């Protein structure tokens, strides 16, 4: 069985700068990493709150997507699909990791991500 660990909650945003201002200045979350106008990771204690735009992540227009980290995304997706998860977006290399998007029985997206091939 694949081991998954909830590490990140993806929050879909349309304007990264406005979202960053709210989450950093209003809520006081520090920025861990930012990739231009595509993505920003904020330190939310035991979890990363990731602000994502459509340019970087296939996510719903509004809402939260749990992102589970695993060592082998392809193997995890095969295992989860065999157990009934619907694959919306198969594993693909992103700018910083490999990721895939699944759907739960209620229609909610679930992300699975892990290290890139070659472990950059």
Domain layout of the chain by residue ranges = 5-114
Residue 120 has pLDDT above 60, yes or no: no
Distance, in Å, from the CA atom of 20 to the CA atom of 113, rounded to the nearest integer, reads: 23
Task: Show the CA angle centred on residue 77, arms to residues 39 and 89, nearest 5°.
Answer: 50
pLDDT computed for residue 20 by the predictor: 93
Q: Which of 13, 34, 9, 2 is nearest to 109 (CA)?
A: 9
The separation between the first and the last C-alpha atoms of the chain, rounded to the nearest angstrom, is 26
- The mean pLDDT of 68-87, rounded to a whole number, is 92
CB contact at 8 A, 73 and 5:
no
Residue 97 has pLDDT above 80, yes or no: yes
* Cα of 73 vs its chain's centroid, Å: 13
pLDDT the model gives residue 8: 92
Q: Stretch 104-114: mean pLDDT, rounded?
A: 83
Condensed to tens digits (0 to 9), the pLDDT of residues 51-62 reads 988 776 665 555
CA dist 119 and 98 (Å) reads 10
C-alpha–C-alpha distance, residues 97 and 120, integer Å: 9
Burial of 25 (0-12, 13-18, 19+ CB in 10 A): exposed
> Exposed, middle or buried by CB within 10 Å (0-12, 13-18, 19+), for 103?
middle
pTM value > 0.85: no
For the segment(s) 5-114, the CATH number from 3.10.180.10, 3.40.190.10, 3.30.70.980, 3.30.365.10 is 3.10.180.10
């Amino acid at each position: 069985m694949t081991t998954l660990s909830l590490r990140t909650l993806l929050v879909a945003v349309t304007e990264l700068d406005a979202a960053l201002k709210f989450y950093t200045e209003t809520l006081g979350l520090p920025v861990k990493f930012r990739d231009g106008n595509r993505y920003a990771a904020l330190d939310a204690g035991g979890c990363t709150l990731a602000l994502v735009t459509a340019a970087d992540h296939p996510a719903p227009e509004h809402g939260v997507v749990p992102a589970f980290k695993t060592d082998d995304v392809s193997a995890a997706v095969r295992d989860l699909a065999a157990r009934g998860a619907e694959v919306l977006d198969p594993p693909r290399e992103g700018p910083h990791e490999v990721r895939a998007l699944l759907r739960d029985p209620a229609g909610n997206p679930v992300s699975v991500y892990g290290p890139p091939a070659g472990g950059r």
